[in-house]
Amino acid sequence: MLQAFNQTRGKLLCARLEDAGGRSGQARGLLGRESIGSDEGLLFVRQKLEPFMWMHMFFMRFTIDIVFLDRNDHVVHICHSLKPWRVSPILFSARKALELAAGATQRSGTVIGDVIEIRSEGPLAEAVNG
């Protein structure tokens, strides 16, 4: 299991972060779930051939926060409490996105410019951070 730690604030952003996996996992994301726990999240990593990142809330049943990170894991954009049937902006600088429970960014004090560390013990963290 992964964690997202806000190094700038010294606070845990997400205690139970799951890797969304390849294209099929990323396409599915949180679809089909009834809710997400306050300490849960999903990590998306932009594929090499994709020129930008954006996230949609089509068919979602609940509101979430989305944190977009650049290649150095700096926060470049935050969608606070994005509601079902909405879309995020298109971000060319984003390399990763974290889908989190609504309010997670406020609770941790996360803002644009903060550095987020994806933590884990084992080879998965190296692959995600590499």
Output the domain CATH number for residue 32.
2.60.120.1140
pLDDT digit string, tens, across residues 45-81: 998 888 999 999 998 899 999 999 999 999 999 999 9
| Whole-structure pTM value | 0.86
Domain interval for residue 21: 2-129
Number of domains making up the chain:
1
What's the token pair of residue 83?
């509601």
pLDDT beneath 70: ranges in the chain: 22-33, 121-130
Residue among 77, 70, 80 at smallest CA distance from 104: 80
What's the token pair of residue 30?
């949180």
